[in-house]
């Protein structure tokens, strides 16, 4: 058998060659780290075959580094990774990418950056040196910096010195900035309390999450967001979630629901749908169905503005209805053809999810379909069902589950939710009167249920 070291190198080499060939066929070179991000210009970037090859490269490269790196250094760097969160969060807070946005190829000297951001020169240098060493921003020459392929994604919001952090509108058109800031703020502070929270002797304590410990509140994260003083945080969260949804191809929702098989006039209910961005994509492609977007009062208020901007005609007739509704209350839309929830159930624990699904089962008829759009998490060991190249982990490590496993801890720290396995979703269905029918795997899996016949 080939050594693990050579096998990992071969996986990297083979898949890099395949990806390079795709770009060569289009008369292009693969984007380098040195240029501002421009991947939206390449429509094949979300091709499933290309994405799988990237996963294999990342998985093998990370495992190769872990294999040849000093175990002591791996542990030290893991323990010190808090500084990555702190440094990226700091760069987001002061609008560093904005400062460098219009800088020419000669870059900007640290003294000028410090003057604009009102940050001590030496401290700013230390943070930038840390980030550029990890391929976030680029140091052209000593103390001269520019954006690169990664840092340019932080452009957006206000380009001031960070004093506008709590501005209501700062993150509206800057979803990546919003996501990074969310992780580096509530997420980071809550993660600090993860160990003491998990080591609590009395697990029946009323403290539900590390977030509750750190922020000294009995409110859930969403209730806390709804406090007047946290309006800007709620707005940032909404911007982050809207931007996060945009990374998924539109066809995932329509394919998962099976829109092609529905009849004109069939009712589709977007449960916990926020402003209804997923439904908007469905409406544009399938205008002859009827849609209901449900959420709490504030998201529905925002949804009216959203639809009046993007598809005002939909609200005039009965094509789209915006409905204030908590999914923990009895469901008013009875006998819909499809109920779907996109990236909702991972925010809630099993008891709460059972309540959500049971409310939908109570109003479903025999032809109703329930579709959840979530990430399917997997164990890292190789099982008999896995088809991964030797010697990769069963879940492809950070190439396949790096984000998922991080989000799982994020849910643990901020909420009582979790990422779930296929078995978890099957059991939740069985406990609430739904039979798991089909799972379409992918960057966002669709999990389809039919009512269990009594």
Chosen domain end from 22, 57, 73: 73
Distance, in Å, from the CA atom of 58 to the CA atom of 425, rounded to the nearest integer, reads 28
pLDDT averaged over every residue in the chain: 92
The first and second tokens of residue 365, run together, are: 């008829």
Same domain, 285 and 432: yes
State pLDDT tens for residues 111-146. Answer: 999 999 999 999 999 999 999 999 999 999 999 999
Same domain, 205 and 143: no
What is the enclosing helix (H) or strand (E) of 98?
helix 96-99
Alpha helices of 183-259 — where are they, by DSSP H?
188-192, 194-198, 210-215, 221-225, 231-246, 251-257
List beta partners, residue 445. Answer: 374
Cis peptide before 391 (omega within 30 of 0): yes
The first and second tokens of residue 428, run together, are: 């939740």
Same domain, 62 and 89: no
Q: What are the angstrom distances between the C-alpha of 451 and each of 89, 257, 327, 350, 395?
A: 45, 15, 18, 19, 31
Would 45 be classed as within a structural domain?
yes
User: Which of 268, 303, 269 is CA-nearest to residue 288?
Assistant: 268
Chosen domain end from 43, 73, 103: 73
**Phi and psi of 86, rounded to 5°?**
-65, -40
Q: In this predicted structure, what is the pLDDT of residue 166? A: 56
Report yes or no: 64 and 5 within 8 Å, Cβ to Cβ.
yes
Alpha carbon 336 to its chain centroid, in Å, reads 28
Would 406 be classed as within a structural domain?
no
**Phi and psi of 293, rounded to 5°?**
-105, 120
Same domain, 139 and 260: no
Same domain, 55 and 90: no
Chosen domain end from 154, 185, 200: 154
Same domain, 142 and 89: yes
What is the torsional sign of CA 85, 62, 80, 99? Answer: negative
Q: Specify the residue for token string 């994020």.
A: 410
Q: In this predicted structure, what is the pLDDT of residue 390? A: 96
Report yes or no: 414 and 241 within 8 Å, Cβ to Cβ.
no
Same domain, 39 and 150: no
Percent of the chain whose pLDDT exceeds 70: 95
For the ranges 328-332, 338-342, 386-390, 396-400, the lowest mean pLDDT is seen at: 386-390
Would 108 be classed as within a structural domain?
yes
How many domains are there within the chain?
Answer: 4
Domain of 327: which CATH number?
Answer: 3.40.50.150
What is the enclosing helix (H) or strand (E) of 92?
helix 82-93
Report yes or no: 154 and 96 within 8 Å, Cβ to Cβ.
yes
Same domain, 115 and 227: no
Distance, in Å, from the CA atom of 352 to the CA atom of 449, rounded to the nearest integer, reads 18
List beta partners, residue 145. Answer: 108, 139
**Going by C-beta distance under 8 Å and a sequence separation of 6 or more, which residues neighbour residue 330?**
359, 362, 363
State pLDDT tens for residues 82-105. Answer: 999 999 999 999 999 999 998 878
Half-sphere exposure of 212 (CA within 13 A, CB side): 15
Q: In this predicted structure, what is the pLDDT of residue 26? A: 87
The first and second tokens of residue 179, run together, are: 């996501």
Would 167 be classed as within a structural domain?
no
Higher-confidence residue of 238 and 312: namely 312
The first and second tokens of residue 160, run together, are: 């001031």
How would you write 143-160 as a 3-class SS string?
A: CEEECCCCHHHHCCCCCC
Q: What is the mean predicted confidence (pLDDT) over 265-294?
A: 97
Buried b (16+ CB within 10 A) or exposed e, 4-27: eeebbeebbeebbeeeeebeeeee
Would 170 be classed as within a structural domain?
no
Same domain, 202 and 218: yes
The first and second tokens of residue 52, run together, are: 């799988």
State pLDDT tens for residues 148-200. Answer: 999 999 998 764 444 455 578 889 889 999 999 999 999 999 999 999 999 98
Same domain, 362 and 424: yes
Would 405 be classed as within a structural domain?
no
For β-strands 290-295 and 267-271, DSSP reports them as parallel
Would 390 be classed as within a structural domain?
no
Would 50 be classed as within a structural domain?
yes
What is the torsional sign of CA 111, 115, 121, 123? Answer: negative
State the pLDDT confidence band at 41, using cuts at 50, 70 and 90: low
Report yes or no: 31 and 149 within 8 Å, Cβ to Cβ.
yes
Q: Which domain holds residue 252?
A: 248-376+420-451
Same domain, 369 and 429: yes
Q: What does DSSP assign to residue 428? A: H
Q: What does DSSP assign to residue 131? A: H
Higher-confidence residue of 172 and 370: namely 370
Same domain, 303 and 435: yes
Domain of 132: which CATH number?
Answer: 1.10.10.10
């Amino acid at each position: 058998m080939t050594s693990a070291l050579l096998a990992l190198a071969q996986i990297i080499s083979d898949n890099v060659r395949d990806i390079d060939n795709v770009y060569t066929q289009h008369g292009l070179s693969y984007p380098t780290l040195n240029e501002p991000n421009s991947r939206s210009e390449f429509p094949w970037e979300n091709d499933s075959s290309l994405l799988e090859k990237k996963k294999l490269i990342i998985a093998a490269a990370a495992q190769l580094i872990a294999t040849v790196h000093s175990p002591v250094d791996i542990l030290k760097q893991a323990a010190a990774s808090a500084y990555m969160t702190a440094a990226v969060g700091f760069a987001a807070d002061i609008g560093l990418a904005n400062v460098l946005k219009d800088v020419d190829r000669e870059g900007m000297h640290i003294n000028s950056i410090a003057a604009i951001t009102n940050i001590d020169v030496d401290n700013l240098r230390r943070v930038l040196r840390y980030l550029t060493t990890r391929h976030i921003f680029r140091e052209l020459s000593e103390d001269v910096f520019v954006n690169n392929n990664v840092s340019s994604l932080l452009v957006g919001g206000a380009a001031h010195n960070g004093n506008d952090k709590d501005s209501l509108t700062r993150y509206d058109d800057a979803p990546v900035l919003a996501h990074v800031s969310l992780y580096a703020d509530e997420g980071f502070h809550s993660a600090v309390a993860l160990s003491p929270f998990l080591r609590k002797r009395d697990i029946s304590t009323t403290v539900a999450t590390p977030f509750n410990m750190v922020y000294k509140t009995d409110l859930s994260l969403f209730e806390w967001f709804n406090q007047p003083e946290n309006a800007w945080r709620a707005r940032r969260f909404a911007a982050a979630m809207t931007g996060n949804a945009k990374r998924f191809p539109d066809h995932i929702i329509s394919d998962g629901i099976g829109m092609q098989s529905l009849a004109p006039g069939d009712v589709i209910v977007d449960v916990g749908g926020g402003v209804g961005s997923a439904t908007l994509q469905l409406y544009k492609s399938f205008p002859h169905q009827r849609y209901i977007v449900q959420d709490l009062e504030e998201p529905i208020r925002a949804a009216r503005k959203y639809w009046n901007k993007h598809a005002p005609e939909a609200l005039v007739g009965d094509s789209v209805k915006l409905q204030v509704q908590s999914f923990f209350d009895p469901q008013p839309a009875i006998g819909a053809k499809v109920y779907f929830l996109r990236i909702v159930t991972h925010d809630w624990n099993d008891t709460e999810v059972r309540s959500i699904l049971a409310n939908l089962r109570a109003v479903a008829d025999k032809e109703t379909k329930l579709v959840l759009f979530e990430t399917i998490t997997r164990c890292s060991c190789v099982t008999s069902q896995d088809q991964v190249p030797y010697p990769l982990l069963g879940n492809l490590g950070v190439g396949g589950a790096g984000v998922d496993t991080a989000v799982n801890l994020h849910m643990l720290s901020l909420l009582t939710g979790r990422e779930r396995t296929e078995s978890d979703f099957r059991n939740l269905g069985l406990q609430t009167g739904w039979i798991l029918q089909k799972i379409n795997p992918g960057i966002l899996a669709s999990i389809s249920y039919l009512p269990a016949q009594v």
